[in-house]
Amino acid sequence: MKYCSVCGSVTVKKIPEGDNRERDCCENCGAIHYSNPKIICGTLPVKDGSVLLCKRAIEPRYGKWTLPGGFLENGETVSQGAFRETLEETDTEVKMGDLYSIFNVPQINQVYMLYMAEVLHEDYSSTSESLEVKFFNEEEIPWEELAFPFVPIVLKNYFSDLKTGSYPLTTHTIERRK
Please give the pLDDT value at position 176: 84
Range of the domain at 6: 1-35
Check whether residue 69 and residue 100 sit in a common domain: yes
DSSP 46: E
**d(Cα 69, Cα 115) in Å, to the nearest integer?**
10
Q: Is 178 domain-assigned?
A: no
Check whether residue 86 and residue 164 sit in a common domain: yes
Check whether residue 42 and residue 2 sit in a common domain: no
Answer yes or no: is pLDDT of 177 > 80: no
What global pTM score does this model have?
0.91
Instruction: Looking at the chain, list the stretches that DSSP marks H as alpha helix, in order from N- to C-terminal side.
Output: 78-90, 150-164
Check whether residue 83 and residue 23 sit in a common domain: no
Check whether residue 73 and residue 133 sit in a common domain: yes
Check whether residue 97 and residue 28 sit in a common domain: no
When the pLDDT of each residue in the chain is averaged and rounded to a whole number, the result is 97
Q: What is the pLDDT of residues 53-67, one digit of tens each?
A: 999 999 999 999 999
pLDDT mean over 108-115: 97
Please give the pLDDT value at position 29: 97
Number of domains in the chain: 2
Report the CATH number at residue 25.
2.20.70.10
Check whether residue 134 and residue 71 sit in a common domain: yes
Q: Is 54 domain-assigned?
A: yes
Q: What is the pLDDT of residues 61-104, one digit of tens each?
A: 999 999 999 999 999 999 999 999 999 999 999 999 999 999 99
The set of residues, in sequence order, having a beta carbon less than 8 Å from that of 86 and lying 6+ positions away, is 42, 43, 45, 68, 69, 92, 93, 94, 117
